[in-house]
Structures are given as structure tokens and as C-alpha cells.
């Protein structure tokens, strides 16, 4: 750490979004930067409410060492860092978004209500989504499913390493590409990798469908692999754990939290594996998050059809469908199983 100039940011107020582009659902993120603002890499990943599953001090230590190696080779390696640089943005700071404008000062008010004066990172993603909803426009996949966790393509990484494959899901895109446990990924789309977050950066900006080129070190030898991603690949990402999904629930389910029915429970309900079966796990009580309750939905209702759709879906996939197909003000027909009866309800889009 003594070889770094360390800067800690504890707020998103006035955050330069043209530079600091990362997964805004994180509780901790690190950037490795040159003084000229060139990004060497990012650190910080999360796939669950328990963030410690995906990061470790050992992994951070190795990312720091790798960043120093890139720094020693700079600027001769500038070309290979090109893909890691920030993308153009519509708004320079979070406060420039219409839904946040005029609500926050550039600095925190360190009084009794300091938390209320802070722009939280997740509010940036929420504000981005609201620009689409306010304009009655469908949200793109990359806005609904940001920073895909690599497991969506079949790769699970060791959090104690830079980008070393721990598991490969059988039958996945990664398995078809030839990835194996123990592979050390050196680059993806030509970008040197310092951490799992760097892998997510590439996935976040990948098109659909996509063909991504990777280099991996296996048994001391470097190999080239090609990762082919089908159309709609990122829609299988689980976003239910994200703080920003609470606002998606307001928009699409009126504050309902939905859980996919387990296989044993499916069999007891005489529902086939291919059928929609989302159980209402929680019903919102306040404001717009109480819209589902006011529409008649109850805890433990089992949604088996919604907007004419009865195929198997996760809560995250339902978010994607409704955010792209149905705009605010529309009421969506739904069928739920309640104590053995089929009940017809309408879910208000907001």
C-alpha cells in the first residue's frame, strides 16, 4: 500500500460518474488509477446479500500487486488498457439525474442526519432506471441486469485470487468454451484482469449475443478460448439480492417479494417443472410499495400466471419482462393459487 496514493470516498455526492463507473450495488469498491485518470482495474464483487462471499483481503492484495505491474509498464501498455476506460455518460454526477436534482448538496452535512444528506451509490442506478420509466420507455437488458456475475455464463472464481476459475457449470457457455477449474484467466477481450470485477466490467459491456476472447494459463501454458454468449444471455442473472431491486419491485410487483417455488413444493402443488410458480414471500406495507397489497395480493399467494405468461420464471426474469413490455399505469392480470383456489387479481404497474 505504501506505493499507492490512497484516497477514500465515503459518499456519492458530486461523484464523477465519467470516471467512477462500477457496480453501484456494492458496499465496497476500489479503483486502481494512474494520475492521468487511466484505469488499471477495478476491485469489488457481490452476488448475494453476504458480500464476503465474493471478495477477500488476499484477492485485494493480489489485485494491488497486479496494478503495480501494469503501472510499471505504463504508458507502453496503454493500448491494452483502452477497453477498461470509462464509457460516455448522460449525467456527470448523481445529482444531475432528474429524480435526484435539487435534493442533495455536493457535500455531506455532518450533523444528526448525516445519512439523509448522503447520496448512496445505489441511488445512481435507481435514478438511471427512472429516466426510462418516466419516459415510458422499455429498459435495456444492461440497465435491468447490470454487472453480471460470471456464474451467469458458467464461471465461478476463487475470491482469494485475481481471476482463477474455481468451478465451471456443466453445459454452460463457459463449459462449451473449454474453461476448466484452476484456469488462471489473464485477459478477456484483450483486457488484463486484476480481479473478478474486471471480468464483470467486460460482461457488463458485452453485446447480446456476444463472442468474447479469453486467454487462460493452464499447467504453465497459455491458451486461447472463445466464449460464445447467446441472445438474452444476461437475463438469467439473479438481481433479487440487489438494493436497487427494491425500486424494481415498486415498479413491477407493487412491493411484493417473490420466491420461486422449490421442486418439492412444486410437486405437492401438482405443478410441472416448466410452469410459473412464484410465491409471495413478503407484501409491502407503505406508500407505492403497498400497491400489491391494495390490489389484493397476500403473503403465500402462489402466482401461476401473469400477463398471459405461465412459463417458469424467476423474480428477476419477471422484472425484465414487465419492465420491457408494460409501462406505468397499466394493470396486469394475474392468477394466484390461494388455499387451493384460483384467484384472479390485477397487478398495477408504476
pTM above 0.85, yes or no: yes
Q: Summarize the chain as % helix, strand, coil (round to 5).
A: 30, 20, 45
Cβ atoms of 192 and 249 within 8 Å: the answer is no
- The Cα 150–Cα 152 span in angstroms is 5
Candidates 284, 277, 261; CA nearest to 348 is 284
Q: For residue 105, what pLDDT is reported? A: 94
- The Cα 40–Cα 303 span in angstroms is 46
Q: Is 343 in a helix, a strand, or coil?
A: strand
pLDDT mean by block of 10 residues, the chain; 350 residues: 93 96 95 98 90 88 97 97 97 97 94 92 97 97 97 96 97 98 97 98 97 96 97 95 96 97 89 95 97 98 97 97 97 95 96
Q: What's the first-to-final CA gap in the chain, in angstroms?
A: 47
Fold category of 245-348 in CATH:
Pdz3 Domain (2.30.42)
Element (H, E) at 246: helix 245-253
Q: For residue 268, what pLDDT is reported? A: 87
Q: Is 280 in a helix, a strand, or coil?
A: strand
Residue ranges per structural domain of the chain = 245-348
Q: Phi and psi dihedrals of 26, rounded to 5?
A: -80, 155
Q: Which residue has the cell 409471495?
A: 280
Q: For residue 52, what pLDDT is reported? A: 72
Q: For residue 49, what pLDDT is reported? A: 76
Q: For residue 1, what pLDDT is reported? A: 83
Cβ atoms of 119 and 12 within 8 Å: the answer is yes
Cβ atoms of 55 and 41 within 8 Å: the answer is no
Candidates 311, 298, 307; CA nearest to 335 is 307
Amino acid at each position: 500500500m505504501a506505493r499507492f496514493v490512497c484516497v477514500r470516498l465515503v459518499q456519492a455526492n458530486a461523484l464523477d460518474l465519467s470516471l467512477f463507473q462500477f457496480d453501484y450495488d456494492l458496499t465496497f469498491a476500489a479503483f486502481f488509477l494512474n494520475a492521468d485518470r487511466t484505469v488499471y482495474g477495478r476491485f469489488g464483487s457481490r452476488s448475494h446479500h453476504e458480500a464476503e462471499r465474493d471478495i477477500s483481503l488476499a484477492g485485494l492484495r493480489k489485485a494491488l500487486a497486479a496494478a503495480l505491474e501494469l503501472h510499471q509498464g505504463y504508458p507502453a501498455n496503454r493500448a491494452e488498457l483502452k477497453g477498461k476506460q470509462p464509457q460516455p455518460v448522460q449525467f456527470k454526477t448523481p445529482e444531475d439525474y432528474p429524480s435526484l436534482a435539487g435534493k442533495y448538496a455536493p457535500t455531506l452535512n455532518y450533523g444528526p442526519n448525516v445519512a439523509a444528506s448522503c447520496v448512496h451509490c445505489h441511488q445512481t442506478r435507481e435514478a438511471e432506471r427512472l429516466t426510462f420509466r418516466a419516459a415510458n420507455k422499455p429498459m435495456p437488458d444492461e440497465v435491468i441486469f447490470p454487472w453480471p456475475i460470471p456464474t451467469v455464463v458458467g464461471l465461478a472464481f476463487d475470491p482469494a485470487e485475481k481471476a482463477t476459475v474455481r468451478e465451471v457449470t456443466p453445459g454452460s457457455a463457459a463449459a462449451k468454451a473449454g474453461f476448466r477449474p484452476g484456469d488462471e484467466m489473464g485477459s478477456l477481450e484483450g483486457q488484463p484482469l486484476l480481479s473478478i470485477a474486471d471480468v464483470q466490467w467486460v460482461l457488463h459491456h458485452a453485446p447480446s449475443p456476444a463472442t468474447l476472447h479469453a486467454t487462460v494459463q493452464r499447467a504453465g501454458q497459455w491458451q486461447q478460448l472463445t466464449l460464445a454468449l447467446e441472445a438474452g444471455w444476461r437475463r438469467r442473472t439473479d438481481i433479487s439480492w440487489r438494493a436497487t431491486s427494491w425500486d424494481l419491485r415498486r415498479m413491477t410487483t407493487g412491493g411484493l417479494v417473490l420466491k420461486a417455488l422449490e421442486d418439492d413444493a412444486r410437486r405437492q402443488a401438482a405443478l410441472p417443472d416448466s410452469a410459473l410458480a412464484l410465491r409471495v414471500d413478503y407484501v409491502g406495507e407503505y406508500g407505492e410499495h403497498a400497491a400489491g397489497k391494495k390490489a389484493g395480493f397476500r403473503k403465500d399467494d402462489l402466482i401461476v400466471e401473469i400477463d398471459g405468461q405461465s412459463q417458469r420464471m424467476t423474480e428477476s426474469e419477471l422484472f425484465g419482462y414487465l419492465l420491457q413490455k408494460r409501462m406505468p399505469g397499466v394493470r396486469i392480470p394475474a392468477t394466484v393459487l390461494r388455499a387451493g383456489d384460483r384467484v384472479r387479481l390485477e397487478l398495477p404497474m408504476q
